[in-house]
Amino acid sequence: MILIAFPSWGDGIIYARALRFLRLLKLFRYIRAFDIVWITLRAASRQLAASFAMAGVIIYVSAYALYFAEGKIQPENFGSVPRALWWSVATLTTVGYGDVYPITPLGKILAAFIALVGVAMVALPAGILASTFQTQLHKSDKK
């Protein structure tokens, strides 16, 4: 009935209906594991913030390193720090699209090292969360 009177509201109503799934979030209150997840995130927030800050520094340092190693050889791919930043983010997050890659020996050596650092960079927050979750789970079992 509303759609007949206001036909332009049709899209808005469709989007509003799509948001009904948010009601499922109420279930999180009744499941103990979700409680522990929120407690874990709060307990590990400082360590996670430190690891994400460290990741940001590593991303910028690796972008600058590749810019200096490859910038003059491949100006279309590494000719500026923001272009090198794209490669750095893709490599350090272990996505590795393959659209941009180093071709000089120094660039390849740096890229191999940076890729290994990326694996550790992704594993660090996962380890922090897993350890804190286990601790919180153990604490809740004692109660």
Domain definitions of the chain by residue range: 27-142
Q: Which tokens hold the place of 80?
A: 């500026």
User: How confident is the model at residue 1, as a pLDDT?
Assistant: 46
pLDDT band at 9 (very low <50, low <70, confident <90, very high): low
pLDDT band at 3 (very low <50, low <70, confident <90, very high): very low
**Residue 96 backbone class (left: φ over 0; alpha: ψ -120 to 50; beta: rest):** left
Look up residue 18 and give its amino acid: A
List, in order, residues 6 or more apart from 72 with CB less than 8 Å away: none
Domain at 27-142: CATH code: 1.10.287.70
**Other CB atoms within 10 Å distance of the CB of residue 63:** 24
Closest CA to 108 of 83, 142, 74: 74
- Pick 96 or 58 by higher pLDDT: 58
- Pick 8 or 78 by higher pLDDT: 78
